[in-house]
Structure 1
C-alpha cells in the first residue's frame, strides 16, 4: 500500500512538473545566430591632457592621456613614476590621493597601499563616444547652491 501511494505521488508530481514546464517562458530568449559580423571600429581615446569634471560625487578621475604601452603589473607601475607623491613636482602630474597611502583601517603607509596599486581597476581612459543614456546630472553650483562663506 505504501509503495502504491509513493508511486502515485511520484507520478502526479512528474505530471504537474511537465505542465508547469510547458507554461514557463524561456529565460534565455531565442537562439542567437553564430554568424560573425564586422566589428565596429574602436573609439578614439581622449588624450588632450585636460582634467575633466567628474560626473558624480566620489567618481575616480579619468585618465586624460594615453596609457598605451604602460606596464602595470606586480613588478612595475608606470603611473606611479609621475603621480607618486615624490615625483609630482618634476612631472607636473597631479598627486594620487592620500587615501591611496592608507590601509583599510585608515593607517597611513610610507608607500602606496597594495589594494590601490592597480590604477586601472578604478581609473579609466575616456573614449570619444556618444552617451549610452541621457545624463541629467547637475552639479550643485548649477542648482543655485553657493559654497559656504561665499555670500
Structure 2
C-alpha cells in the first residue's frame, strides 16, 4: 500500500514536492479513478464503435460475395450462351458454304445447259435450212418430172 501511495505522490508531484495537506492524496486518487473511468468508457465506446464497424463491414462483405457469386453465375450462363451461339454460327457457316457450292454447281450446269441449248438451236436452224433447201429441190424436181 505504501508503494501505491508513493507512486501516486510521484505522479501528483513529479519534482518531489509533497503536499502540505494530508487530504490531497484521496482527492488525487479519486481524480485518477475518475480519469480511468472516463478512459474506460471512451475505450468501451471505441470498442463498440469498432465492433459495429466490423459487423457492418462483414455484412457488406457478405453482400459483395453474394454479388460476386451472382455475377459469376451470370458469367457462366453468358459463356454457355456464347458457346451455343458460336456453335450455331459454325453450323450455319458450314451450311452456307455447302449452299454456295451447290449454287455454283447449279450455275455451272445451267451455263452448260444453255450452251448445249444454243448449240442445239443452231443445229436446228441449220437442219431447218437444209430441209427447206432439200424440199425446194424436191419440189423443183417433182415439177420437172411432171413437165415431162
TM-score (norm: length of structure 1): 0.19
Higher relative contact order (CA 8 A, sep 6+): 1
Higher helix share: 2
Q: Which has the larger radius of gyration?
A: 2
